Structure 1
Amino acid sequence: MTTQIELSHIDKHYGVFHALKDVSLSIEKGSFVALVGPSGCGKSTLLRSIAGLETITSGTLKIAGETMTGVPPRKRDVAMVFQSYALYPHMTVEENLTYSLRLHGVNKAEARQKAAEVAATTGLSALLKRYPRELSGGQRQRVAMGRAIIRNPKAFLFDEPLSNLDAALRVHMRKEIRTLHDRLGATSVYVTHDQIEAMTMADHVVVMRDGVIEQQGSPLELYDHPISKFVAGFIGSPAMNFVPGTIGADSRSVNLEINGSLSLPLNRTLDTGRKVIVGLRPEHLVVADPGMATLRLPVAVVESTGSMTYVTTNTTPELTVVETRRMNIRAGDSVDLTIAPEHVHLFDPTTEQAI
């Protein structure tokens, strides 16, 4: 695969604040990469640095093999789609789409032809004569994407483009953006704080924390093998449960410090008495038949969505359990739980790194 965007040892300072710390990342041509993390982790700063909207303090940035140091945004041949759409309110959809082409001297006939092609691709053909105020949020976002597509750039940069949409429309637009990416054979870098967006849309997910890359890999690699408690808690919804624990006398079990001491079997051997943090994903905790359970815990809250049942235990710390069955459980009952040993994650309590 050809590397389309390459960042080597990127640092970014805002005065004394160190926003990006020795960030290195290779983005392959045609890939869809999601930058994800909590607010302030540096993901938008990294995206804006690729676009040239931020000047990096040190390091090297290359796009399609060309060094971008000192190159202004308009000459980087990348297209950015913003959260705010950034459409010109006094221009029609067609005029918004063709604006960048007209700036670069493309004649009106050719610009209109390209606008018609992009409109057909993005479902905007019937809206070309409308103004932004006459469009829904999803339609405006399509115009913003169409304006990026029409330039045929070397990379598409998305800065939380779906944050202003309602939940149902976000799900729909996720599919549309990914479908467009595949159809165009584009290289896309997508910033989001929503790990569900990252997991469902991207080929490669980069989890950032405090200006550094905490972990990167395919969505399922991060889900199955998080390298730290931070990644384990960030990837997955609902979030992973964390419980203090101690490795048992047999070296192949862990005693949970929850409602006294309850033991879980492990699929590996560790030093007896070692202190650990035990990670249990809600969807891996299974409501079992009495006598088959490993854990028996009191229930605080039961929430049913019809297709899913969410159970919260009345413990310290509390556990969240997700069941795909409808459960005849009420608050105040006790629930019997089990979990496969291969689904038990362990982390060092000091470093918070995976064991």
Structure 2
Amino acid sequence: MTIQPQIELLSVNKHYGGFHALKDINVTIPKGSFVALVGPSGCGKSTLLRSLAGLESISGGEIRITGKAVNDTPPRHRDVAMVFQSYALYPHMSVRDNMSYSMRLRKASRAEIDAAVADVAAILGLGDYLDRKPNALSGGQRQRVAMGRAIIRNPKVFLFDEPLSNLDAALRVHMRKEIRALHDRIGATSVYVTHDQIEAMTMADHVVVLKSGVVEQQGAPLSLYDTPATKFVAGFIGSPAMNFVGGIVGDTGRAVTLDLPGAPSLPLARTMEPRRQVDVGLRPEHLSIETGGAPGIETTATSVESTGSVTYLYCGGDPEIVVVLSERERISQGDPVNLTIAPDKIHLFDPETGAALR
């Protein structure tokens, strides 16, 4: 069965005077999917979301919702609902009145409003708070009210603009599970902007990584983790970030020598162009400590952090290599360590273009 696209962004460009904020963005979002736009501050993700909502006009290209071009369609007629980082609730209104505001503007009947509010409050667990004002609610409850105000409109698309940024770490984890569960329950199409790649990886079906207004890579979360297309994506997806070390491919093309003290050589799972300069990517969680004498990266532990279940090991100095160990290791600052990695877990990138080398 063919799934029809709910949203199509076709060669979308946005200029602010001489600044090119969005550069030929092409993204297709199927109906019912959860898509995350992720990237560092200033990459264009919020501009893209606001353009989709109609809060920004685009300079070129086309935006389609359910097959219809909406470039010139005002926000209120695009059938999208936006949940903001700031919640944007009316402080003088109760939860009930905040959630039903759009229905009251449409002059829906009291019976329709009461039924819709009751349904949405039940979904969000807000039934006991309908008569409270926003200042009597916690941050998580206020975020639920903001989502309820969007849900009650029954839009084609939900747009989330960093909705969890104002919450503490524990509540962010809880709310991201709630948002994803809500998405699945109501069968929505959701577009979610975040700078937090953990949110993007854990919540989304499809992740779009942006850098300086350009789509660096898009795809399923684990495909971006396993096969990043560029050094930027490799460093952005994954926590802690991937380690990068300069290197050169050996004469046989089956090993890479690292620009580290002692010039350690690591075997490769594929044959590369001999003597080629490369940037070598090593994920912290793929590195391990070799105790059997096999050749690896001989270095020194400069710092050790244990959380109980995980140990973070910081090695060397320039560049620093971070290692994530799932076991409690008896390692102290200043101890020598020998690090190894499976050949098929080594990533190689072109030093000039940043493109992945397969």
Q: TM-score, normalised by structure 1?
A: 0.99
Q: CA deviation at 1:260?
A: 2.9
2:19 matched to which residue of 1?
17
Whole-Å Cα distance in 2 between the matches of residues 249 and 64 of structure 1? 55
Matches within 5 A, 1:2-41: 2-41=4-43
* CA apart distance, 1:66: 1.5
2:79 maps to which of 77, 80, 87: 77
Give the conservation status (yes or no) of the 8 Å contact 1:80–1:157. Answer: yes
Q: Considering only aligned residues, what root-mean-square deviation do their CA atoms show, in Å?
A: 0.8
Instruction: Give distance in 2, aligned partners of 1:197 and 1:213.
Output: 18
The answer as to whether partners of 1:258 and 1:315 remain within 8 angstroms in 2 is: no
CA distance in 1, matches of 2:255, 2:355: 19
Q: What are the Cα deviations for residues 98-141 of structure 1, in whole angstroms up to 9, with x where unaligned?
A: 00011011112210110010000001000000000000000000
Identity of aligned residues (%): 65
Q: Which residue, 137, 146, 149 being the options, matches 2:148?
A: 146
* 1:307 matched residue in structure 2: 309
User: Within 1, Cα distance between the matches of 2:293 and 2:78?
Assistant: 64
Using the alignment, how far apart are the partners of 2:339 and 2:16 within structure 1?
49
Residue in structure 1 matched with residue 299 of structure 2 by the alignment: 297
Aligned residue in 2 for 1:287: 289
Tell me the equivalent position of 1:207: 209
Q: Aligned to 1:246, what secondary structure does the other structure show?
A: strand
| Alignment partner, residue 219 of structure 1 | 221
Q: Which residue does the alignment assign to 2:267?
A: 265
The amino acid that maps onto 1:127 is Y
- Choose from 134, 137, 140 the match for 1:135: 137
Any stretches of 5+ residues in structure 2 without a counterpart? none
How far apart are residue 158 of structure 1 and its match? 0.2
Give the equivalent residue in structure 2 for 1:185.
187
Instruction: Report deviation, 1:248.
Output: 1.2
Separation in structure 2 between the aligned mates of residue 243 and residue 284 of structure 1, nearest angstrom: 15
One-letter amino acid of the structure 2 residue matched with residue 113 of structure 1: A
Q: 1:156 aligns to what?
A: 158
Q: How many residues align?
A: 355
Query: Runs (4+) of structure 1 moved beyond 4 Å?
Result: none
Matched with 1:345 is: 347
Q: Distance in 1 between matches of 2:90 and 2:282?
A: 49
Amino acid at match of 1:184: I
Residue 299 of structure 1 deviates from its aligned partner by: 0.8
Q: Which piece of structure 1 moves more, 60-69 or 25-34? A: 60-69
Q: Is the 8 A contact 1:348 1:354 kept in 2?
A: yes
Pairs within 5 Å for 1:238-253? 238-253=240-255
Q: Distance in 2 between matches of 1:322 and 1:284?
A: 8
- TM-score w.r.t. the length of structure 2 is 0.98
The question of 1:126 aligning with 2:133 is answered no
Deviations 1:156-193 (A, max 9, x none): 00000000000000000000000000000000000000
Question: Which residue of structure 1 aligns with residue 107 of structure 2?
Answer: 105
Q: CA deviation at 1:293?
A: 4.9
- The amino acid across from 2:250 in the alignment is G
Q: How does 1:307-346 map to 2 (within 5 A)?
A: 307-346=309-348
Give the deviation of 1:292 after TM superposition: 3.4
1:338 Cα deviation after fit: 1.1
Q: Secondary structure of the residue that 1:6 maps to in structure 2?
A: strand
CA 1:91–1:298 in structure 2 vs 1: closer, same or farther (change >3 Å)? same
Residue identity in the other structure for 2:225: Y
Q: Return the alpha-carbon distance in structure 1 between the equivalents of residues 253 and 159 of structure 2.
A: 49
Q: Which amino acid aligns with 1:145?
A: M
- The gaps in structure 1 that reach 5 residues or longer are none
Q: CA deviation at 1:325?
A: 0.3
Measure the CA separation in 1 of the matches of 2:68 and 2:265. 57
Q: How far apart in 1 are the matches of 2:64 and 2:246?
A: 45
Aligned with 1:236: secondary structure? coil
